[in-house]
Structure 1
Amino acid sequence: MSATDPNCLFCKIVAGQIPSRKAFEDEHLLAFHDIHPWAPVHVLIIPKLHIATMAEVGEQHAELLGRMAVLAPRLMRELGVTNGFRTVINTGPDGGQEIYHLHMHVMGGPRPWLKG
């Protein structure tokens, strides 16, 4: 596993080669708004380190995943989500992963298509 993959869409976003609407950035993580949101607030949290799938995660990534998990509720609060949110990490073809760079979907806000 390399620090970046020159063919990876999310590595290109991290490098600034592809624009994104950033919600957060530090030396380890980047969070940006999904271009095809499933909810009123839908951000992706990605590590800057290229890890293709959750299946490749090892003990050495524990702190990085912890940072992702801690950032999710912080971002939802900052983005005005007050009634709960969903976190999803798709892994591999059967898990519905489309972009092979580890990423956490964080979605919140009212969803009018749900039955009340």
Structure 2
Amino acid sequence: MPKFFSCSPTKSNSTTIEDSDSLLLRSNGNNINDKLSKQCIFCDVSKDKGFNVIYEDNRLIAFHDRTPRADIHLLIIPRNHTVSSVEQLRKEHIPLIQSMRLLANDLIPTKPTTSPTTSSIPTKMGFHIPPFSSVPHLHLHVFSGKHTFIGKFKYPISTSTSKPGGKGTSWFVTVDQVENILQSGGTIGLGRA
């Protein structure tokens, strides 16, 4: 896969913050996802593996994307291989999505940056829909600031004209759209939802 489509790590330094209040979610060894996790690069995220980890607790890990497509481009993943993609999410995953959103809001700076154009751009959060995702491990893209040229095309937001809070035909779905679709009992896919 070309580098500009990849979310895989590169070497850099970071800070780890431990959150002792998080729930400990561990696999019991009987899950099919245990086999997937042995092949998944995001199941082994660490600073030692070259990821620029900025936050981790027993449930979630946040790190900088190796090829940022905005001034700030983070990825937030479940520590365990809960699901491979946004397509597999169901209503019972809403608390996970909400936790990922809350962490994103905590990590994105709220103070204005030195650039007046960057500080006025709202935070954008969402997921790629397969086959347009590069790593088969649920990961939330979090953007703040201005997108790069490629970033504008790689992460388009499309809304539904027939369903408030629904999505259009884009391959990128916002965290709000995911929550609305799951809340109504729907599932995420490339078509309108």
Q: Is it true that 1:56 corresponds to 2:88 in the alignment? A: yes
Q: In the alignment, does 2:152 pair up with 1:86?
A: no
Q: How far apart in 1 are the matches of 2:147 and 2:109?
A: 17
The separation in 2 between residues aligned to 1:23 and 1:107, in whole angstroms, is 15
Aligned 1:62-81 pairs, distance under 5 A: 62-77=94-109
CA offset at residue 35 of structure 1? Answer: 0.4
Mark the structure with the bigger radius of gyration: 2
One-letter code aligned to 1:72? A
The one of 126, 141, 148 aligned to 1:105: 141
Task: State the alpha-carbon separation in 2 of the partners of residues 112 and 60 from structure 1.
Answer: 35
Summarize deviations over 1:1-53 as a string: whole Å, max 9, x none.
Answer: 42561100101215x66221112111110000000000111100001121101
Are residues 1:10 and 2:48 paired?
A: no
Structure 1, unaligned runs of 5 or more: none
Q: Kindly provide the amino acid, as one letter, of the partner of residue 125 in structure 2.
A: T
Gaps of at least 5 residues in structure 2 are 1-31, 114-118, 153-193
* RMSD value, Cα: 2.5
> Are 2:70 and 2:148, in contact at CA under 8 Å, matched by a contact in 1?
no
Q: 1:42 to 1:12 in 2, by over 3 A?
A: same
**How big is the shift at 1:77?**
2.1
Q: Which runs of 4+ in 1 moved over 4 A?
A: 78-82, 111-114
Q: Distance in 2 between matches of 1:79 and 1:30?
A: 23
TM-score, scaled relative to structure 1: 0.80
Q: How many residues align?
A: 111
Task: Give the partner amino acid of 1:61.
Answer: H
Q: How does 1:14-25 map to 2 (within 5 A)?
A: 18-25=49-56
Query: Are the structure 2 counterparts of residues 6 and 40 from structure 1 closer, same or farther at C-alpha, using a change threshold of 3 Å?
Result: same
